[in-house]
């Protein structure tokens, strides 16, 4: 895993629509929470993605962007994003090139380690967490990341929350009665 203070490696990967997204283009608008996850639609990854979605409005207020990376193809990411109404993009690293660059490849090259990085607009890693099975550590890290940036400044002008249209099939909102595993 890369360490706090390291320079984040530049990359360009396709998002869920197949559009190329580079790290520098995202950081141009402010800091980024970049999270790596093993697979779409698994219980742990769904809980993690929905946790990021629930915190998304506050992250946007703080000028922090969110991107997820896993090895699935764009079509899988699009279905996952649509099903849970995720307000951020999911990037495809089918060859696991970026996953290896960020040192989160699974043991013996199998799978992907669950990791989250806070990267500032200068491509410097300002915080990181690696917790393969403890999803809550990643969600706690979101609050920690907001505090880190509040102490040092957000580093970006983006402050507008984005809402996605369309009908809700599954819900990841902050409602107490919502669950990503029950029909809405």
Cα→Cα distances 133→112, 127, 128, 138, Å = 12, 19, 15, 10
Pairing of strands 12-14, 20-22: antiparallel
Distance CA 153, CA 159 (A): 13
Catalytic: which of 8, 23, 27, 45? Answer: 45
Q: What 3-state class would DSSP assign to 67?
A: strand
Distance CA 151, CA 145 (A): 10
Pairing of strands 115-119, 125-130: antiparallel
User: How does DSSP classify residue 7?
Assistant: B
The residue whose two tokens read 């495809």 is 92
Residue 45 falls in the annotated catalytic set: yes
- Annotated active-site positions, please? 45
């Amino acid at each position: 895993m890369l360490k706090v203070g390291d320079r984040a490696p530049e990359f360009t990967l396709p998002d869920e629509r197949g559009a190329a997204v580079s790290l520098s283009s995202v950081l141009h608008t402010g800091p980024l929470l970049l999270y790596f996850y093993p697979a779409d639609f698994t219980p742990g990854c769904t809980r993690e993605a929905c946790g990021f979605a629930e915190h998304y409005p506050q992250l946007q207020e703080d000028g922090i962007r969110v991107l997820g990376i896993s090895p699935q193809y764009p079509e899988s990411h699009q279905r996952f994003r649509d099903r849970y109404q995720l307000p951020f993009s999911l990037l495809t690293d089918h060859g696991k090139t970026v996953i290896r660059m960020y040192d989160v490849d699974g043991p013996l090259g199998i799978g992907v380690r669950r990791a989250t990085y806070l990267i500032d607009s200068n491509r410097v890693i300002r915080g990181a967490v690696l917790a393969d099975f403890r999803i809550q550590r990643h969600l706690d890290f979101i609050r920690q990341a907001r505090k880190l940036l509040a102490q040092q400044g957000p580093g970006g002008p983006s402050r507008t929350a984005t809402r996605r249209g369309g009908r809700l099939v599954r819900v990841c909102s902050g409602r107490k009665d919502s669950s990503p595993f029950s029909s809405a």
